[in-house]
């Protein structure tokens, strides 16, 4: 694939560089925020080489690429830079398109112009969709590190179980402790990491936000909060809570910080802004977080966890079936982004989660349905797409190529995947399956679900087997209506 040529075609059919207000990417999709959606030609975009599908979700035009999305994204960045006119360069002061580690670029225009374009892109976007977009922007950049943490923890689990079978306890070994620290660090320092990504979303100073998050992880603060004595600030008793590994308090704190900074920027003289804006912001926000917004965030987190655990207490099988069956439907509509923080919060606070276990049933069912398509179809192009999608879903847990490449387009395989995903999730619920890391479900992360005993692990294996092989068998048996020639491109 010629990434530069693909990027050029995508950018042209999206309406050109001037029509792009913001561009991000996740594991499989380019996510465009366009100033004028009518300028984009979605039908032609879907026919571009390497493009699996084009969907509009949450105020974004999402171009599904698959696992090569990062290469295409980088090529689009280059095209965005090359497409700037000389007048744009002059007005931007030769500022280059600002690529970040979060997989995000701006248009290369002045900040005011860029905000105007982004505001236009969000016109008509509901509050709920804006919330989903914000959640995605905050959590997506940390997913690779969280996935790496899960993979490493899976390897350590295998090592611990293997050693235990030989009568050796390696949990006190220095090497084990150091590597285990690497798996837990991203969760322990979650307030600092989320402070950075939240500041990007809310347009606050990233490093002031990180300093605010750092106070939540500071050892002396932790000692105060976990001690027996009451803790007071300015004579007011604080709600005692352990903010290390917390999620919601820092998001609320940075959201308020962004407004405090904007107010101070307006009222403080230019010559004093560089010192007084961050200094006063921190002076205001540290007490505000510990007195008000931190406790509020903890209570919100507890309420969300209460609802989820209540569903589990009501019926683990029903909860597992619902998540296992509907997860990939949520992916299609982008609603899954609202659920991801629940799993991250559970690992951070309790050291375990079952949300992604149930979602794993959905992942494997999509891979199985794609395998059924490959076995059933006589179309060579569709067979190649389905084979690749099945492998990607089963090994890496990335389902978009399977969903958009074949299952959703053919309809019946999607129905088979939903049915078998629900069955697999129900089995996991009955077996009390939990994982000790937030890891995308695939063959590479199977060991993550072996940390809480062999019985639970066997139920997990049974659940994903039902999902994968069941959906493959149903798709192969019941078949589907073959696509017309020309619909299998992209």
Q: What are the residue numbers of the active site?
A: 26
Burial 254-282 (b: 16+ CB within 10 A, else e): bbbbbebbeebeeeeeeeeeeebbbeebb
Q: What is the distance between the alpha carbons of residues 290 and 296, in angstroms, rounded to a whole number?
A: 10
Residue 100 · residue 200 · CB < 8 Å: yes
Element (H, E) at 6: helix 3-13
Strands (E), 40-118: 53-57, 60-64, 104-105
- Pinpoint the alpha helices (H) of 315-404: 316-333, 340-350, 355-376, 380-391, 400-402
Q: Is 241 helix (H, G, I), strand (E, B) or coil?
A: coil
Residue 326 · residue 365 · CB < 8 Å: no
Residue 205 · residue 261 · CB < 8 Å: yes
Residue 409 · residue 360 · CB < 8 Å: no
Task: Characterize the bridge pairing of strands 232-233 and 236-237.
Answer: antiparallel
Residue 403 · residue 414 · CB < 8 Å: yes
Q: What is the distance between the alpha carbons of residues 35 and 85, in angstroms, rounded to a whole number?
A: 18
Nearest CA to 158 out of 361, 446, 443 is that of 446
Residue 172 · residue 228 · CB < 8 Å: no
DSSP state of 233: E
Exposure of 101 by Cβ count < 10 A (0-12 exposed, 13-18 middle, 19+ buried)? exposed
Q: How far is CA 461 from CA 194, 414, 417, 422, 468, in A?
A: 33, 22, 17, 15, 10
Q: Which two tokens stand for residue 73?
A: 């994204």
Cα of first residue to Cα of last residue in the chain, in angstroms, is 12
């Amino acid at each position: 694939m010629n990434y530069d040529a693909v990027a050029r075609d995508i950018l042209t059919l999206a309406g050109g560089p001037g029509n792009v207000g913001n561009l991000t990417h996740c594991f499989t999709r380019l996510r465009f925020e366009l100033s004028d959606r009518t300028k984009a030609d979605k039908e032609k975009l879907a026919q571009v080489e390497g493009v699996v599908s084009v969907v509009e979700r949450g105020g974004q035009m999402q171009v599904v690429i698959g696992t090569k999305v990062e290469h295409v994204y980088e090529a689009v960045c280059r095209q965005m830079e090359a497409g700037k006119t000389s007048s744009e360069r002059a007005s931007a002061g030769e500022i280059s398109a600002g690529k970040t580690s979060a997989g995000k670029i701006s248009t290369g225009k002045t900040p005011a112009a860029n905000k105007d374009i982004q505001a236009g892109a969000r016109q008509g976007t509901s509050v709920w969709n804006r919330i989903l977009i914000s959640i995605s922007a905050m959590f997506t950049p940390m997913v690779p590190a969280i996935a790496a943490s899960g993979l490493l923890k899976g390897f350590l689990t295998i090592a611990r179980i293997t050693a235990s079978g030989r009568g050796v306890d390696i949990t006190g070994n220095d090497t084990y402790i150091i590597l285990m620290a690497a798996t837990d660090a991203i969760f322990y320092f979650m307030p600092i990491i989320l402070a950075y990504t939240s500041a990007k979303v809310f347009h606050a100073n990233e490093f002031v936000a990180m300093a605010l998050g750092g106070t939540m992880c500071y050892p002396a603060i932790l000692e105060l909060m976990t001690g027996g004595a009451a803790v007071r600030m300015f004579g007011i008793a604080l709600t005692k809570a352990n903010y290390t590994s917390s999620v919601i308090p820092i998001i609320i704190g940075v959201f308020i910080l962004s407004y405090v900074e904007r107010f101070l920027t307006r009222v403080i003289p230019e010559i004093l802004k560089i010192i007084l804006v961050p200094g006063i912001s921190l002076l205001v926000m540290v007490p505000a977080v510990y007195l008000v917004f931190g406790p509020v965030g903890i209570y919100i987190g507890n309420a969300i966890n209460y609802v989820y655990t209540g569903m589990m207490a009501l019926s683990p099988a029903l909860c597992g079936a619902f998540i296992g069956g509907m997860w990939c439907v949520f992916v299609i509509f982008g609603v899954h982004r609202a659920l991801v923080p629940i799993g991250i919060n559970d690992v951070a606070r309790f050291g375990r989660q079952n949300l992604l276990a149930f979602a794993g049933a959905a992942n494997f069912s999509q891979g199985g349905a794609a395998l059924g398509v490959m076995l059933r179809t006589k179309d060579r192009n569709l067979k190649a797409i389905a084979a690749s999608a099945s492998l990607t879903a089963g090994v890496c847990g990335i389902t978009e190529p399977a969903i958009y490449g074949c299952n959703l387009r053919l309809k019946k395989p999607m129905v088979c995947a939903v049915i078998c995903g629900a069955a697999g999730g129900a089995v996991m619920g009955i077996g009390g399956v939990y994982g000790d890391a937030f890891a995308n479900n695939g063959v590479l992360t199977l060991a993550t679900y072996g940390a809480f005993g062999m019985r639970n692990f066997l139920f997990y294996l049974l659940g994903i087997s039902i999902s994968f092989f069941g959906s493959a068998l149903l798709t192969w048996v019941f078949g589907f209506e073959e696509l017309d020639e020309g619909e299998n491109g992209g």
